[in-house]
Amino acid sequence: MIFPILSTFSVVARDPENGDLGIIVQSKFPAVGSIVPWARAEIGAVATQAWANASYGPVGLDLLEKGMSAPEVLKSLLEADEMAEHRQVGIVDSSGRVAAHTGDLCMDWAGHIAGKGYICQGNILAGESVIADMVSAYEFTQGDLVARLFAALKAGQAAGGDRRGMQSAAILVVRKKGGYEGRNDRYVDVRVDDHPAPIDELERVFRLYDMTLLSREDPSQLLTIDGDIGWMIQNALFKLGYIEDVSSDSFPSSAKDALQEWININNFENKWRDDGTIWRSILNYLLNDAEGH
């Protein structure tokens, strides 16, 4: 049986500050998030692509959990695979050790660059500059692992990306008890399975995911609810039918109650503030919501 090739570029990395492990990927292939990214909190991450051997993910993570290093796991996976020269795989372990392989039979342009705690890799790319630009973006972007992964993926696309085009994208970041209510380790798990601009769509969906589930905003993005900000919030809530009129008061209790109701209905409880401030992202979403009515 002949399987289609995952013409793909990805980053697999570990955050040295907190140990988060993650992968971001884009491909001219549907539902790339179901095949390429594999990660286990405090164990490691694996990105398997090209003529992808999906077993590299779970098997590799099991070997990492048994105490093998990323280079040792890569050696074991390749030795057991007669199609190894068709594979591309990047592995990072919980200590930040990395290992990567781009088989000689991967379709051009194919290659990888391994850095400190991360790997950028891809196949059927527009050229070597795709990976080089991803590395630069990852290295020089400020922020957490999520921000650096997005920056690298966008830089790769700006350099030409997958030369066959775009179709799907995904980001997976794991953190011990980092998922919903602390009951799983999927800190970030967002996929776009089929879209003409999957990276843009991945960012859009992630912003919603971020507002709903995460607490990672910069405190400088908090706005005090008074003056014009208070009026804008009231005006938006009025347009949406949450209050009956706009008060001349700075921000009356009725408006505060209405804002909390709107936040609850939109599942943004994670971003509710009871100190007279509002996140800029929440304000922008509220204003856009009102503009659409």
Alpha carbons 28 and 136: distance in angstroms, whole number: 23
Whether 13 and 98 map to the same domain: the answer is yes
Structural domain for 156, as ranges: 8-213
Residue type, 176: K
| pLDDT on residue 250 | 79
**pLDDT score for 5:** 66
pTM score, two decimals? Answer: 0.91
Q: Which residues of the chain have pLDDT under 70?
A: 1-6
Is residue 1 included in any domain, yes or no?
no
CB under 8 Å to 61, separation ≥6 — which residues? Answer: 38, 39, 40, 43, 44, 46
What are residue 172's DSSP bridge partners?
Answer: 23, 189
The answer to whether residues 185 and 66 belong to one domain is yes
Which residues are CB-neighbours of 141 under 8 A, at least 6 positions away? 147, 148, 151, 152
Number of domains within the chain: 2
Are 66 and 175 members of one domain? Answer: yes
Return the biggest CA–CA distance within the chain.
74
Dist CA 226 CA 250 (whole Å): 5
Strands 222-224 and 186-192 come out as unpaired
pLDDT at 3: 58
Does residue 165 share a domain with residue 46?
A: yes
Residue 75 Cα to chain centre, angstroms:
28
> Is residue 144 located within the same domain as residue 36?
yes
Residues 128 and 206 in one domain: yes
Quick: pLDDT tens for 189-208. 999 999 999 999 999 999 99
- Answer with the one of 213, 232, 259 that is the final residue of a domain: 213
CATH of the domain at 161: 3.60.20.10
Q: Is 61 found in the same domain as 20?
A: yes
Structure-token pair, residue 58 = 């779970």
Domain boundary among 213, 247, 262: 213
Say if 2 falls within a structural domain: no
Q: Is residue 264 part of a domain?
A: yes
Q: From CA 189, how far away is CA 211, in angstroms rounded?
A: 14
pLDDT at residue 293, rounded to an integer: 72
Claim to verify: residue 181 and residue 249 sit in the same structural domain: no
Q: Identify whether 251 is part of a domain.
A: yes
Say how many C-beta atoms besides its own lie within 10 A of residue 288's C-beta.
10
Q: Give the separation between CA 168 and CA 198, rounded to whole angstroms.
A: 5
For residue 3, is it within any domain? no
Q: Of 187, 213, 239, which closes a domain? A: 213
- Does 225 lie in the same domain as 202? no
Sequence length of the chain is 293
Domain-embedded: residue 144: yes
pLDDT at 1: 47
Is residue 163 domain-shared with residue 185, that is, in the same domain?
yes
| Residue 262 exposure: Cα atoms within 13 Å on the Cβ side | 25
Same domain, 93 and 134: yes
Q: Is residue 125 part of a domain?
A: yes
Tell whether 77 and 205 lie within a shared domain. Answer: yes
Q: Assign 3-class secondary structure to the chain.
A: CCCCCECEEEEEEECCCCCCEEEEEEECCCCHHHCCEEEECCCEEEEEEECCCCCHHHHHHHHHHCCCCHHHHHHHHHHCCCCHHHEEEEEEECCCCEEEEECCCCCCCCEEEEECCEEEEECCECCHHHHHHHHHHHHHCCCCHHHHHHHHHHHHHHCCCECCCCCEEEEEEECCCCCHHHCCCEEEEEEECCCCCHHHHHHHHHHHHHHHHCCCCCHHHEEECCHHHHHHHHHHHHHCCCCCCCCCCCCCHHHHHHHHHHHHHCCCHHHCCCCCEEEHHHHHHHHHHHHCC
